[in-house]
Chain A
């Protein structure tokens, strides 16, 4: 089965029943719809999307923890719903903020335990644990009780747990969630290095950090509301915005409602407003440089002062805005409101 792609999904969908839904409320939620992906072996693949986009749902299906409602999914050539016993020995998963294992055990003992669940003999397990702990910089904590670890060190242990079994396909669900800059960087370096050292191994990473997707992934699928909107290399995705001009503007605080008017201006594709303390930040996606004049004039009419103006290269965030029509933060807010029935 090693000629099969690492991951393949066909019209994959998942609908959750909502328990205890009151009259008039939705009884089910479409978390994933019509997902068609193919990830070849050896690829570092990213899933980028806001909260509630369906990233974890997709990972749960691929790791045999959740049944698809429609369509099919294959990992390492095996059907996740029909042949979970073939899929399971070949995969592993690490999630952000997970608290797996037992606090009373030491780091080394916890890792040994999880290795046993995959049938590794004790000698191999300890040799790998010591090697991997060394690489993530946790070797001096091998005999620390797990409950005494900080969040960052804890997550490094979880990472070692996932890679310990040398999986053909590893699923990383927001592995750097809530970590400080240093720990996040260590984890990113570790995964990158593992990929370089073990050709043919596949990583599927979900994240809502743009930089993470951009820096690590060979290809990225942008997902929102359960649907994959685009799937390509970060460079190609950004190339879609090549003809557009992107500006970052800092202005004195703007009143609400002014923005809608800006988007009506000729040549303005999209304006994302992020209010800051004492000022407003605007990201403008324009069809061409010339449209900037109109925006500046409009700002003047509204009595706003320009504090800073910068032209910049497109990021994956801009790609998301271009595809969805709003920023990731706005998409998350919209999703929450929908859930609250607003």
Chain B
């Protein structure tokens, strides 16, 4: 032990920030390969719900593009499930297991931990979303008509940034609520499916409700993606893609900034009151 090998001094600053993000993302990406049961449930259950809607739409002879809408909704469900179950309640769980204290005590910033959690969750979920999309496309013969790959990419990235920004904000809020967070998470799951239009275009809600629903990043994200991907998309779209991209950018910045603000606040409070790093209380 007299050696304790050192090749170079430890990183600080942005290098440490990046290291922390990667290290915290790692268990998320690896975890899903090790727990095959998770992959099954998190892919299969959203897919099952999707298939249900598809048969209903076929039965009532809805326009064929609706089938595509539903498959996309099913794929995006995976991200919402991931945000609710693996982001929002995660910091609370980290506190219970004692990790939170170690994260605060380490020289990194908690924001890097949260970003790592988000990045890892996002990567792991992309795989599931892809499986749902491919399966749905092959089984139900969906036809795509992509109008702009560049805009599609931009919308997806912005939607993810805003969605996981919201997840990071919820994570630091749930830390305050503790155990009740689980009930809140369960309570949020279904209404969000409905209000953000997972299985039908939000335009059908009427302007006011659709606008209110736009606070949820997936609402506009999916609306814009449907407009860009399906032939009949634009006619069923809520706002123009450009406007939706602008709003999504604002949402992403606001949610991530709010998450940072709350996280700093929670860390200060934890240190002042001594309650948050304590497993027993």
Contacts and interface: CB of A to CB of B under 8 A. Distances in A.
A119 B15 contact: yes
Most buried by A among B6, B104, B105, B273: B105
A101 interface: yes
Contact of B6 (A88, A89, A124): A124
Contact of B27 (A66, A102, A118, A197): A102
Interface stretch (B28-36, B131-139, B187-195): B28-36
Interface residues of B, number: 42
A104 B36 CA distance: 12
Interface string B7-20: 11011100110011
Interface string A52-87: 000001001001111100000000000000000100
Contacts of B204: none
A114 B22 CA distance: 11
B20 A127 contact: no
Interface in B79-135: 97-99, 101-108
Contacts of B11: 119-121
Contact of A66 (B20, B31, B274): B274
B1 A60 contact: no
Contacts of B209: none
B48 interface: no
Given A66-B274, A93-B105, A194 B1 contact: yes
B10 A118 contact: yes
Nearest to B1: A197
Contact of A104 (B35, B104, B108, B277): B35
Interface stretch (A105-113, A212-220, A311-319): A105-113
B274 A16 contact: yes
Contact of A100 (B26, B31, B102): B102
14 contacts: A65-B277, A66-B271, A88-B106, A89-B12, A91-B105, A102-B27, A104-B31, A104-B34, A117-B102, A120-B10, A120-B11, A145-B34, A194-B1, A197-B2
Interface of B: 1-8, 10-12, 15-16, 19-20, 22-24, 26-27, 30-31, 34-35, 97-99, 101-108, 270-275, 277
